[in-house]
Structures are given as structure tokens and as C-alpha cells.
A and B are shown apart, each in its own frame.
Chain A
Amino acid sequence: DAMVIQNPRYQVTQFGKPVTLSCSQTLNHNVMYWYQQKSSQAPKLLFHYYDKDFNNEADTPDNFQSRRPNTSFCFLDIRSPGLGDAAMYLCATSRDRANRGPHTDTQYFGPGTRLTVL
């Protein structure tokens, strides 16, 4: 059974047209992450939610926003996509079982959404 689900799997948008990517999880994990991955590169963390607390990476552009309305769902909003935002967007989840903090236990990745910007 799918544990981390991303929709859509493929998204085509026009330059400057807002787009929302969604992620849902059935694992009841308290941490959810959004990564951007470009070809042949490591995933780049954009931000994460630790429970309801939002944590933005210092170099994440303001163009990227996120919402987590409940434990199961998390959204990535790209307000004005540019050509450089074309990439695979990966959602991941983890459970901080030992209260060590985020990124300290297995991250379960979704299948990703491939974003194309025309």
C-alpha cells in the first residue's frame, strides 16, 4: 500500500502561473519535508514541518510556500514558477521517535511530482 502519495505525478504549468503540489501520508508521521531534485543532483531541502511548526531553509526562495492543514497532508505552492523551477519535487515523512529532532530517522519519500514550466 502506498504510504506517501504525491499528486499529480506530472504537472505542466506556464511561466508565472501558480501551481500547487500535494502530498499525503498514511504513516502518521509527525515530520513532513519538501525537496527539490534536479537531474543528477542530490535532493535539496526546501522546508519541513515538525508537527505544526514550519521550518524554512535559508536559501529557499520566497516563491515557494507550504501548508500543512493536518497531520496527513502537506502542500507545496509555487507562486510564480520560473523556468529554473522545473524539477522533480519530492515529499518525504519521518517520525521523530526518540525526540532527537527532524532528519534523525528514516525518511520515506513519495514518488515525486515532475514539474515542467513552459
Chain B
Amino acid sequence: GENVEQHPSTLSVQEGDSAVIKCTYSDSASNYFPWYKQELGKRPQLIIDIRSNVGEKKDQRIAVTLNKTAKHFSLHITETQPEDSAVYFCAASRYSSASKIIFGSGTRLSIRP
């Protein structure tokens, strides 16, 4: 069945440095790739998403890149801050009335002061 692999499972970076989280998906028909941030004890919240007709999208310190040929997409956070500490989930889905969403297993990001 469809699968999304996410790496690394934990990531610790120095405040101010960049963080990169990578995901690989198996369903070549996937069109939509959201990233959700979940702080401890809180709800997941969308931080950025990308669709298959775009290779890169940026929103301030956050960017996502998509390589459809290789079937992988990555989250880039620059100039990390303590409030970036959270669990990040990638996901993939396709445009279909029978669409499924497949989540990655999550990355726990810690920002060291």
C-alpha cells in the first residue's frame, strides 16, 4: 500500500541554524503535500503545503521543495528559534473522491539555545 517515510525521527539543532526534514512517498499519483507542526499537548497546525505543479514554495523562514521524479519532498527551516521546537509531520494525498492521506511518522525537532 501507499507509504510515506520521514527522516530523521529526531533532530536537534543550534538556535539560528537550519533544519531539514525529508519525506519520501510511494504513490506517484500524489498531488498534495502538507506539513503539520504539533507542539507538545497541542493540535496539529498546517505550516506550509505544496502541490505537484510546483517545485518549491517559501513562507518567511519556512520552505518546502518537491522532487516528483524522485518522489520526495523536504521541509527547510532557516534561522531556527526556540518556538520551532515541535513534532513535524509530512503527508501526501492525491486528487480523488477516494483520496487517502498518508502521514509520515513525524520528526521531533529540538532547538538548542
Contacts and interface: CB of A to CB of B under 8 A. Distances in A.
Interface in A101-118: 101-112
Counting contact residues on chain B (CB < 8 A from A), the size range is 20 to 34
The binding surface of chain A is classed by DSSP as: loop
A101 B100 CA distance: 9
B106 A101 contact: no
Contacts of B96: 100-101
Interface string A59-96: 00000000000000000000000000000001000000
B65 to A, nearest CB: 19
A110 B32 contact: no
Given A103-B101, A104-B31, A42 B43 contact: no
A104 B106 contact: no
A89 to B, nearest CB: 11
Contacts of A107: 34, 36, 44, 46
A64 B36 CA distance: 25
Interface residues of A, number: 22
B25 interface: no
Interface string A18-61: 00000000000000000000001111010000100001010000
B32 A42 contact: no
Given A41-B105, A42-B89, A42-B105, A101 B43 contact: no
A103 B103 contact: no
Interface of B: 31-32, 34, 36, 42-46, 49, 87, 89, 91, 93-101, 103-106, 108
Given A90-B44, A101-B93, 9 more contacts: A40-B106, A55-B98, A100-B95, A101-B95, A101-B97, A103-B93, A104-B94, A106-B46, A107-B46
